[in-house]
Amino acid sequence: MTSVSTSRPAVADAPAPAVPRSPRLSRRHREWIAAALFLAPDALGLLVFVAVPMVLSVVLGFFQVSGFGSYRWIGLGNYRRMMNDPLFWDSMRITGLYVVILVPVLFCVSLGLGLLAKQKLPGIGVFRTALFMPYVISLVVVGLLWKFLLDDQVGAVNRAMRSAGFGAHSWLGDPHLALGSVIAITVWVMMGYYMIIFLAGLQEIPAEYYEAARIDGAGPWRSFRSITWPLLRPTSFFVLLMSTVAALTGGLDMIFVLTGGGPANGTSLAIFYIYQQAFVFGEFGYASAMGSFLVLIMVIVSAVIFALTRGGRFDDGE
């Protein structure tokens, strides 16, 4: 603001620099040119590094790509191979399990934390800060840290379990437990982020509604059911969609550090399997085909969520 007022006299003295620069162009055309120049860097960058790769990933699915960069058209060959690849379907099953457990748990935990964070309690600011802290740590550090804490023999978790009389478990080494451990750690990382989003949604709900409900004799559960839940729909939709998409294609960094896909491929999420095929075995074409399939699943799931929640709109009928 201050720079405006200080620069104004200087600009006014000069005979309106923008006008004489291109006397033949109309104001409208100058605006077009300005817009094109303003947009050029980002438009070009997004085209080259986002849009082209997106299209390319579909196209590559029909090619066999060698490590040295030669491409051979093989039609649906990669997709036929995918259909008959038990490891891929295993990874899809694990991804499905991961999404189906992670998303509802994360949703409920974050909503609960959001409800708690909304309360005017002493020290609630410290609470919000504490719960958000894991989110700013990189997934590599998160992976290393939990590998340390969940160590079979010397990890703090097993030491605590043993002294509490529950006995130790191989949290990351037991195929039945490893995926659950990964999910729990993901909840720990992400809950603060979605807590803030829920908190923002909760703060949008006018306090008078709760006051009126209380006067009408509604208990806490009733006012949650009739006020909070319906008015929180847009936020719930957003959280559901975001966390599902993130769960379907995310988690690569952490799996890489924490389990390397093991034990017995028990945490080999589809995105990890795809990564391995591409960058360990150099199967870029095959990996792209599986990636496109994963995107297709993502689109379908998003559409289903959209339809089921009516895009997060408020109920019209009631």
Partner 1 sequence: MASETATATATEPRQAVPGGRGRGGRLRGGRIGLVVLAAVLAVLAVLPLLYMVTGSLKTRDQVTDGKLIPHHVTWHNYQYVFTQVPFTRYLLNSFFISAVVTIAALFFHSMAAYALARLRFPGRDVLFGAIFATLLVTAPVVLIPLFLVARQLHLLDSYAGLIIPAIFNAFGIFLLRQFYLGLPRELEEAAVIDGCGYWRVYWSVVLPLSRPILAALAVFFFLANWNAFVWPLVATNNPDLTVVQLGISAFQSQYTSNWNYILAAATVAAIPMLVLFFAFQRQIVESIKTSGLK
Nearer to partner 1, 128 or 178 (CB): 128
Assign 177 to helix, strand or coil.
coil
Alpha helices in the chain (DSSP H): 2-13, 18-21, 27-46, 52-60, 77-83, 86-118, 124-136, 139-149, 156-163, 178-203, 207-215, 220-223, 229-231, 233-249, 252-258, 270-279, 284-308
Q: What is the rounded CA–CA span in Å between residue 60 and residue 230?
A: 44
Q: How many CB atoms sit inside 10 A of residue 36's CB? A: 10
- State in angstroms the smallest separation of the CB of 57 from partner 1: 4
Nearer to partner 1, 75 or 122 (CB): 122
Site for partner 1 in 145-164 (CB under 8 A): 145-149, 151, 153-156, 159-160
- State in angstroms the smallest separation of the CB of 285 from partner 1: 9
Nearer to partner 1, 174 or 295 (CB): 295
Site for partner 1 in 82-121 (CB under 8 A): 104-105, 108-109, 111-113, 115-116, 118-121
Contact 287, 274 (CB under 8 A): yes
The CA angle 127-192-111, to the nearest 5 degrees, is 95
The verdict on 139 binding partner 1 (CB under 8 A) reads: yes
Nearer to partner 1, 79 or 188 (CB): 188
Q: Give the orientation angle of helix 86-118 with respect to helix 270-279, to 10 degrees.
A: 130
Total of residues contacting partner 1 (CB under 8 A) = 131
Binder to partner 1 among 74, 92, 172, 274 (CB under 8 A)?
A: 274
- State in angstroms the smallest separation of the CB of 317 from partner 1: 24
Contact 63, 81 (CB under 8 A): no
Place of tokens 């978790």: 157
Contacting range for partner 1; rule: CB under 8 A; set: 86-94, 168-176, 191-199, 303-311: 191-199
Distances (CA, A) of 128 to 119, 175, 180, 228: 11, 34, 25, 20
Nearer to partner 1, 246 or 305 (CB): 246
- State in angstroms the smallest separation of the CB of 278 from partner 1: 5
Q: Let me know how long the chain is.
A: 318
- State in angstroms the smallest separation of the CB of 266 from partner 1: 20
Q: What is the rounded CA–CA span in Å between residue 284 and residue 62?
A: 11
Site for partner 1 in 207-266 (CB under 8 A): 207, 210-211, 213-214, 219-221, 223-224, 234-235, 238-239, 245-246, 249-250, 252-253, 256-257
Site for partner 1 in 47-86 (CB under 8 A): 48-54, 56-57, 60, 65, 69
Nearer to partner 1, 40 or 76 (CB): 40
- State in angstroms the smallest separation of the CB of 12 from partner 1: 5
The verdict on 308 binding partner 1 (CB under 8 A) reads: no
Q: Which residues pair with 64 in a beta bridge?
A: 72
Nearer to partner 1, 13 or 318 (CB): 13
- State in angstroms the smallest separation of the CB of 161 from partner 1: 11
Contact 277, 290 (CB under 8 A): yes
Nearer to partner 1, 42 or 315 (CB): 42
